[in-house]
Amino acid sequence: MTAMVATAAMVAALAGCGSSDEGGDVTLKLVAADYGTGAADSSQEYWDKLARAFEAKNAGIKVDVDVYSWKDVDRKVAEMVEAGNAPDIAQIGAYADYVKQDKLYRTEELVSVPTQANFLPLLSDAGRVDRVQYGMPFAASTRLLFFNKDLFTAAGLEAPATWAGIRTAAQKLKAGGVEYPFALPLGSEESQAETMIWMLSGGGGYQNRSSGVYEIDSAENVDTFNWLRDNLVTPKLTGPVAPAQLDRAQAFAAFTRGEVGMLNGHPTLMQTAEKAGIDVGTVPMPGIEGKAPASMGVADWMMGFKQHGHRKEIGRFLDFAYSDTNVLEFSDRYDILPVTVTASQKMEADDAHNDLRAFLEALPHSELYPFGETSWAKVSASVKKNIGSAVQPDGDPAAVLGRIASEAAAAEAKAKE
């Protein structure tokens, strides 16, 4: 009887690990986003190297990795889930929809206590739905105001400290022949980020900070986009491409060519611009009368899907991936910010990362997208589609923000059904 009980317990334990390949091996499917700019620096190389190192230390577990561009990766994972063949692990832009569908493991079911406790608190909180963490931060960044030092010196300018200073600098840059005095990318690629940067600097934001309710058409947000329309766009201080048609990638490329005086940027742009010979200056995004009330932070997410039952194997891989060595290698490769306390401390103490210290200092005090809201994906899509029209010379920010707010309310109501 004792032997039978022991055997049954062993079978149950093995069943809890999920299905295995022939011979007891497990193959984990990982789908990840590409942080590179082309084949030469694709993230595929990083993940393949990490997978082989993990396999060497964990007999019986294989890791199969597919890397897709940011334009495709979220859709690819959604299609896999819809087809009933979810990956075991996904490193993508959002997780909350999969929580609502009951597709994900809780973080505490996967990683060790030291790993979970090591995530930066701001990012851990952003990975929670109903106070339970499902999304594990993988990469983070903050946004600063970038300026081309050579263009500023030629125009006799100092870094702006207020919105009025931005306008004055843009006027002088335009007078000096700069093509994009202030590049304002409000096109379809990532305008939800540029929108949030300006909302925060104007004292607003996507949500009420206390209640978490969407306040997209608040008076502060309307005033912000009225100011952009009247002070930057209508005077033609944003360059030859209308903000509604300007994507972030276009704006960043123009900055690396020396055609942009100012724009909001992240750490990877600094690396790219400096390699292109641009002398880059950075300051926190100014507010109306001085320092902005808050800066914007961004995080991308790691998650474990329950479908194939590989909970223990997923957890072992994630504990390995979140070691300081691996976190710092990825951060160094793409000039982004670590998501763990210990790796952040090591980066900040390393003089080789002096140019990232301003970003590191800003991250703990920044505000992130409302990642935990299952409605956020639809709200973000509405912003991308509509926000550019708010700042056209004949645009009506109150009407545009009101329309986005209505769509946000509808998405939120549906999410709660």
Mean pLDDT to the nearest integer, 322-351: 94
**Which pLDDT does position 8 carry in this prediction?**
38
User: Mind giving me the DSSP string for 355-385?
Assistant: GGHHHHHHGGG-B---TT-TTHHHHHHHHHH
Residue 24: which pLDDT band, with cuts at 50, 70 and 90? Answer: low
Mean local confidence (pLDDT), 17-40: 74
Mean of the pLDDT values across residues 39-48?
A: 91
For range 58-63, the mean pLDDT: 97
**Residues 23-141+298-363, CATH architecture:** 3-Layer(aba) Sandwich (3.40)
Residue 1: its pLDDT value, please? 35
- Our measurement of the distance from residue 411's CA atom to the centroid of its chain's CA atoms, rounded to an integer in Å, reads 21
- Residue 2 pLDDT > 80, yes or no? no
Q: How far apart are CA 404 and CA 408, in angstroms?
A: 6
When pLDDT is averaged across residues 231-259 and rounded to a whole number, the result is 96
Pick the CATH number of 144-295+375-415 from 3.20.20.70, 3.60.20.10, 3.40.190.10, 2.30.33.40: 3.40.190.10
Which tokens hold the place of 245?
């048609």
Q: Where in the chain is the domain with CATH 3.40.190.10?
A: 23-141+298-363, 144-295+375-415
Give the residues across from 27 on adjacent strands: 62
Region 227-239 average pLDDT: 98
Determine which helix (DSSP H) or strand (DSSP E) holds 67, and give its type and residue range.
strand 61-68
Among the ranges given (29-38, 118-127, 149-158), the one the predictor scored with the smallest mean pLDDT? 29-38
In this prediction, residue 40 has a pLDDT band, given cuts at 50, 70 and 90, of confident
CA distances in angstroms from 81 to 74, 75, 100, 105, 239, listed in the order given? 11, 10, 13, 14, 42
Please compute the mean of the pLDDT values over residues 253-279 and round it to a whole number: 94
